[in-house]
Chains A and B, each alone.
Chain A
Amino acid sequence: DGGITQSPKYLFRKEGQNVTLSCEQNLNHDAMYWYRQDPGQGLRLIYYSQIVNDFQKGDIAEGYSVSREKKESFPLTVTSAQKNPTAFYLCASRDRVDSPLHFGNGTRLTVT
């Protein structure tokens, strides 16, 4: 079955450490996205990529970095510069500019 795989499901890190969240899709979609979800808030866009080797900052990119070396993969690194990294992170993809986003099942990151 086609879909988006995010790993791990839960991730625990100490403050000051960088951590990388994995996102892989086999839907053959060009565009991929990273969102952050916090209780009581709507999904907020961190980064997006419309094509391999190209990506743009979203609304809350500070403290995060991404790469897009392959069409299937869009990893997100949460750096020590991110002030409030504890959150639920969602990866998504889409095939056309007006088609719906397909989401993975998320990674819950806890930083202590």
Chain B
Amino acid sequence: EDQVTQSPEALRLQEGESSSLNCSYTVSGLRGLFWYRQDPGKGPEFLFTLYSAGEEKEKERLKATLTKKESFLHITAPKPEDSATYLCAVQATGSNYKLTFGKGTLLTVNP
């Protein structure tokens, strides 16, 4: 059974204090790993897709990396507007439809 574990469950940072969120996964084979941002009361917003170990994607203050067992979402010099829940999901090879989601990391950035 595919599993996704995100850590920490919650993270509180000061503005400008860089850190990383972790997504550990167990799948028979990885078809794709997805990062989303979710604001309270809203649907998840797509950030990145990673397909193979060693791949990296960047967008503004966010950078996602992937190994064979985990993915990191690095946040450089965060701002209060980066506060949100960050979700990680994986899709296994052989699956045309199912994504398995982690429970998310609630990030709070204080000014």
Q: Give A residues with C-beta under 8 Å from B.
A: 4, 6, 31, 33, 40-43, 45, 48, 50, 56, 58, 90, 92, 97-106, 108
Contacts and interface: CB of A to CB of B under 8 A. Distances in A.
Contacts of B41: 105-106, 108
B103 A41 contact: yes
B98 A45 contact: yes
B86 interface: no
Given A48-B97, A97-B96, A98-B32, A103 B45 contact: yes
B46 A101 contact: yes
Contacts of B42: 105-106
Interface of B: 4, 31-32, 34, 36, 41-46, 49, 51, 87, 89, 91, 96-104
Contacts of A98: 31-32, 49, 51, 91
A100 B87 contact: no
B23 to A, nearest CB: 11
Contacts of A97: 96-97
B102 to A, nearest CB: 6
B33 to A, nearest CB: 10
Contacts of A48: 97-98
A102 to B, nearest CB: 7
Given A31-B97, A43-B87, A101 B34 contact: yes
